[in-house]
Structure 1
Amino acid sequence: MTAPAPAPAPAPAARRALRRTAAGPLTAGPLTVALLTTALVAASTSCTGPAPTRTAPARTAPTPTPSDDGAWRGAWAASPQPPSDGNWSERGFADHTLRQVVRLTAGGTGVRIELSNRYGTMPLRIAGATVARPAEGAAVRPGSVRTLTFGKRPSATVPVGGTLLSDGLPLTVRPFESLTVTLRPAGPTGPATVHRMASATGYRAAGDHRGDVSGSAFTETGTSWYYLTGVEVTGGPDGHRRDGVVAFGDSLTDGHGSTLDADRRYPDRLAERLAALGRPRAVLNHGISGNKVVRHGGGAGEKALDRFAPDALDERGVGTVLVLEGINDIGGRLRPDVSVDELIAGHRELVRQAHARGLKAVGATLVPFKGSAYHTPENEAQRDAFNRWMRASGTYDAVIDLDRALADPADPDRMRPAYDSGDHLHPSDAGYRAMAEAVDPGAL
């Protein structure tokens, strides 16, 4: 099948207009939902990269109206990416049902999901969706399947480039409990918005199996998430909390090298550690493997400067953003390297954006990478210069020194062998645990 021609990535202003623009409350009470109708407001310049980037035709964004979204807070998240080869996103879906399992880092008495069609080429029609408590594999626990609605209807349409929230569903969930989300697209969908590296198994079945308890129909498996970009909760003993943490970054936040289906990425470990210390906070993972701060990354999504607001700052119930990003800017081979001054300027802008939203900005030093494909003497010098700036400048409200936490004492430019997944750039499960343990809870 011949892939559609690449289209330009949306402009920053357009991207901000696409994220969670509420069209107004549909019902009253703590489970009020706002259907999000969004649109592109401007075309942008094109960029090249390892995978095509698509966007919607220009549209006029509606004027937002108030909703009672203050009752909701993020419990799980994934950043959307353009379609790419190596998964189901390039072809999209026709007569299929998708089943995806996610683990929450916050609990409550109500849940709702967020769907994104950010990179779709046509409106995404959803014939139906359910949530359930997972069993083994694609199976779910008997009696746990609950039908989601959208504006009190079982079906919905997500506009090209848009985002949609389901209605709130009364359902008690606990922190670190998993949910199975089943989507039945009313295909064909065209190329699908995806999060490529889920580090979790997803399932696909031919036909309509949204209400199945058994997983026997879900004979195809993959390791990406499709359309699902958030799960939010409301109510419960922590319903007043607005101190969630967004972990923002690249593959080291995304969890490259961690064990499949084990939830051992560093943001997972950080949420567990905070809970064990009696200081529980939701931790939302907005890492994208291959992402860069000041350069567009094709299939790795828009540069951090453009996606920071829609992906991270627009999350509900968040008080802190923890930024670990820049290794792809100085070490990437797919585009010209940037100077350390450009990278620093990019981070200053991220801090400015976070502070403009009243959020605390915490930065992290870049980890050792000697021996990796990225390492050269010149790139090492840039990493060292950036880390010196991070430690000394005072730009961020606090700094987590992941460089020193992972460094081999015998060779500080190299990752400690026990923490190395094998490529000398990405940590192992033990390395991701060490990253989480390096985070001072008081700094968040």
Structure 2
Amino acid sequence: MKAIQPGIKKTAGTTVEAGDRWLGSWFASQTYYDARFAAIDTLDNQTIRMIVHPHTAGSTIRLKLSNLYGSEQVVFGSVNLALSNKEGYTIPGSDRHVTFERKSIIIIPAGREIYTDPVDLNVSGAVDVAISIYVPQSTKTSTWHFSPPQISYIADGDHASDNSAEFFKQKTHSSYWVSGMEVLSQGRNSRVIVALGDSITEGSTSTAGSNHRWPDLFYDRLVREKTDREISVLNSGIVGNQILKSGPEVGLPVAGENVLSRLDRDVFSHPGITDVIFFEGINDIGLGNATADQIIAGMKKAAAEAHTKGVRIYAGTLTPFGNAAYYSEEKERVRQEVNQWIRTQHVFDGMFDFDKALMNPKAPNELLPAYDFGDHLHLSDAGYKALADSIPLSLFEG
């Protein structure tokens, strides 16, 4: 189901001119809910405060709220934005009330996504933003982002506008119903890059609250080098995600829809999109038992779709997973075959050799120990930085 996108309109204190345009500043792919991995199953007369890390700076923003996998409508008694301070606290004076079609109570029908009305709030990559949603009645969680490396805070009662985190006693590492933030732009010199991947792109093993996911670290590099441009790197990573099989097919609903099914919603729907970094396939090998030919065929389809949309797309080689739980010598041969194809193909607009950047020279099927989170598949903060640093900035000029 495609998002409801209300026409650009003027709201109290917020002026949107006809020549302005929206740019993606932050994104989180939504997936099926799975109670096996959840700290909370139902919210009832409670407020959840979620922390997001915007990229593109601006003074007018809107949120994208999702009930994509819900079987019933969800009702939010109030939604507030504020600049995040620390540990659930927000910066006094930055709080903004969010409306939809000028109504404070926001209702999202089952299976739908909506954009809120524009809100005046200065955001940038320098300060995180807290999104606080008050859920007045018993509501089962259904649409979420399972494992961002970020803490969400839960309070009993309506504390959406509170600067203090005093009442936010419960914590969870998941976020609910919030899928995007967009910034109103008056410029035309912009670049919106979508990082499409699995848990390594999601940065699920990076230090919580540090913004050390590789798309964030790559964004930091771009901003330092390309100061004359509006830039964002949107994170479309999902833990366990595959190119070919959706999560429910392998008994892992939180792994979401397969890449080929979610391209339009999670990639091409972003306003201002210019580039895609495609970094998927290791779970097709480890969880899906796919062959190299099957994976390569899926990659070709994704690249062709991007080019049909007029978007540049780059492929990353699959990183080492020696000694990981689903490793085998046969699966390693598949990885090597896929990587050899990526290094020599002319289907994508370019490739990044993430495998070479992270491998242990003494054991090329394994991660360098300093880059290994500990499970021999996912990355440490140092590994995420090494991956981000390996991407040549020259490909993102012009």
Deviations 1:368-419 (A, max 9, x none): 1111112211101100000011111111101000011111111211111111
Deviations 1:163-202 (A, max 9, x none): 1111111222223321111111242222321100011000
Q: Which runs of 4+ in 1 moved over 3 A?
A: 23-33, 67-70, 86-90
Which amino acid letter does the alignment assign opposite residue 193 of structure 2?
A: V
- TM-score for both structures, normalised by structure 1: 0.83
Confirm or deny: 8 A CA contact 2:94 2:121 kept in the other structure: no
Confirm or deny: 8 A CA contact 1:365 1:390 kept in the other structure: yes
Which amino acid letter does the alignment assign opposite residue 303 of structure 2?
A: V
| SS, match of residue 378 in structure 1 | helix
How far the C-alpha of 1:317 sits from its partner, in A, is 1.7
**2:304 corresponds to 1:321:** no
- Structure 2 residue runs of 5 or longer lacking an equivalent are none
Which amino acid letter does the alignment assign opposite residue 19 of structure 1?
A: K
Give the number of the structure whose residues are more often strand, by fraction. 2
Alignment map for 1:197-276 (pairs within 5 Å): 197-235=147-185, 239-276=187-224
Alignment map for 1:63-142 (pairs within 5 Å): 71-86=21-36, 88=38, 91-142=41-92
| SS, match of residue 130 in structure 1 | strand
Which amino acid letter does the alignment assign opposite residue 376 of structure 2?
A: H
Alignment map for 1:19-30 (pairs within 5 Å): 19-27=2-10
Aligned equivalent of 1:414? 366
Which amino acid letter does the alignment assign opposite residue 115 of structure 1?
A: L
Give me the whole-angstrom Cα distance separating, in 2, the residues matched to 1:374 and 1:69.
51
How far the C-alpha of 1:27 sits from its partner, in A, is 3.7
Alignment map for 1:29-40 (pairs within 5 Å): none
Confirm or deny: 8 A CA contact 1:87 1:224 kept in the other structure: no
Which amino acid letter does the alignment assign opposite residue 106 of structure 1?
A: T
Give me the whole-angstrom Cα distance separating, in 1, the residues matched to 2:242 and 2:95.
39
Confirm or deny: 8 A CA contact 1:83 1:90 kept in the other structure: no
Deviations 1:91-141 (A, max 9, x none): 232211110111111101211111100111101112111111122311212
How far the C-alpha of 1:19 sits from its partner, in A, is 2.9
Confirm or deny: 8 A CA contact 1:241 1:317 kept in the other structure: no
Give me the whole-angstrom Cα distance separating, in 1, the residues matched to 2:12 and 2:24.
19
Give me the whole-angstrom Cα distance separating, in 2, the residues matched to 1:249 and 1:83.
19
Pick aligned residue for 1:163 from 102, 113, 119: 113
Distance 1:32 1:188, change over 3 A: farther
Give me the whole-angstrom Cα distance separating, in 1, the residues matched to 2:37 and 2:80.
23
Distance 1:88 1:423, change over 3 A: closer
Moved more, 135-144 or 249-258: 135-144
Aligned equivalent of 1:339? 291
Which amino acid letter does the alignment assign opposite residue 408 of structure 1?
A: N
Aligned equivalent of 2:317? 365
**2:267 corresponds to 1:312:** yes
Give me the whole-angstrom Cα distance separating, in 1, the residues matched to 2:189 and 2:112.
28
How far the C-alpha of 1:328 sits from its partner, in A, is 0.4
- TM-score for both structures, normalised by structure 2: 0.93
- Structure 1 residue runs of 5 or longer lacking an equivalent are 1-17, 34-66
Give me the whole-angstrom Cα distance separating, in 1, the residues matched to 2:342 and 2:282.
14
**2:258 corresponds to 1:303:** yes
Confirm or deny: 8 A CA contact 1:84 1:90 kept in the other structure: no
How far the C-alpha of 1:257 sits from its partner, in A, is 1.8
Give me the whole-angstrom Cα distance separating, in 2, the residues matched to 1:438 and 1:101.
28
Q: Percent identity?
A: 32
Confirm or deny: 8 A CA contact 1:93 1:189 kept in the other structure: yes
How far the C-alpha of 1:318 sits from its partner, in A, is 1.4
Give me the whole-angstrom Cα distance separating, in 2, the residues matched to 1:208 and 1:87.
26
Confirm or deny: 8 A CA contact 1:26 1:151 kept in the other structure: no
Give me the whole-angstrom Cα distance separating, in 1, the residues matched to 2:160 and 2:211.
25
**2:385 corresponds to 1:402:** no
**2:303 corresponds to 1:351:** yes
Give me the whole-angstrom Cα distance separating, in 2, the residues matched to 1:374 and 1:123.
39
Confirm or deny: 8 A CA contact 1:244 1:319 kept in the other structure: yes
Number of equivalences: 389
